Amino acid sequence: MGTLNERVALVTGASRGIGAATARALAEADARVIITHRDSAAGAREVLAGLPGEGHRIVQVSATDSEGLSAAAASVAEIEGRLDILVNNAAMTRVVPHGDLDALTDALFDEIFQTNVRGAFATVRAFRPLLVAGEGGVVVNISSLAAKLANGSNIAYCASKAAMDNMTMSLARALAPEIRVLSVAPGLVDTELTRGWAPEVRNSMIAETPLGRLTVPEDVARAVLAAVVDLPMTTGVVIPVDGGRPLGAATKVHTF
């Protein structure tokens, strides 16, 4: 891995899980890291305290608040004077069985899309001037294997991540050559959310994963760092971090 010395990175929804691990990985690579949260101040402070290096800070803003994002961008312009890396990690979901259409209410459906899709777009829109002004900005959207398999916490979540991957391609085309845009798509991640799932569900996921374990937040963080540092000619793609899960069915095929 290369160094991100003097680079500034912003990670949305970084008070726990993938966002926290990504913030740490970027800080360990010498970037100055800005972590955002909507309503998780204690978690954000804990993450901040654990980051190596100096110059890191917290910004409280929701991905669904376009005015707040514009204010956050103005703050970064004033304090850091630049932004080189934007990681769109902020997301929301709720477990709703795919067959229970009535439980996936209009309000929940809209909230998922507002956060996971519109929020990511609005964040890019707000920070685009800073990303363009530097030496080559990078946007990494945290997607999900659910976008490909249509099998996740609920139908709207799966659709929102598919929309994010499509948007990644559109943004990569629209913002090139100044800004690269990529998605990183983990499989089932070992986080607070998934630890609450039924053991048989988690175990079945592991059994269907060729590499034999769940993805951990640090796996995703390493993929983000690789996308930023080691893939300078890559844009508009989805990088899977899923242990080969889509190949799971193939492991059951007998050859003769």
What DSSP designation does 189 have? B
Tokens of 238: 């989805």
The reported pTM is 0.94
Q: Is 223 a catalytic residue?
A: no
Catalytic, out of 68, 104, 148, 157: 157
Asked whether residue 249 carries a pLDDT value surpassing 80, the answer given is no
Asked whether residue 223 carries a pLDDT value surpassing 70, the answer given is yes
What DSSP designation does 102 have? G
Asked whether residue 43 carries a pLDDT value surpassing 90, the answer given is yes
- Region 98-111: what's the mean pLDDT? 98
Tally Cβ neighbours within 10 Å of residue 209. Answer: 21
pLDDT tens, position by position, 67-85: 999 999 999 999 999 999 9
Distance of CA 12 to the CA centre of its chain: 8
Tally Cβ neighbours within 10 Å of residue 250. Answer: 9
Distance CA 153, CA 71 (A): 32
List C-alpha distances in Å: 135 to 6, 80, 130, 205, 226: 11, 15, 10, 41, 18
Asked whether residue 111 carries a pLDDT value surpassing 60, the answer given is yes
- CA torsion 119→35→44→40, rounded to 10°? -10
Asked whether residue 253 carries a pLDDT value surpassing 80, the answer given is no
The pLDDT confidence band at residue 255, using thresholds 50, 70 and 90, is very low
Write down the pLDDT at residue 196: 74
Tokens of 34: 């800005």
Structure-token match 């946007």, residue found? 139
CATH of domain 8-245: 3.40.50.720
Residues in the chain: 256
Write down the pLDDT at residue 205: 84
Distance CA 67, CA 71 (A): 6
- Region 151-174: what's the mean pLDDT? 97
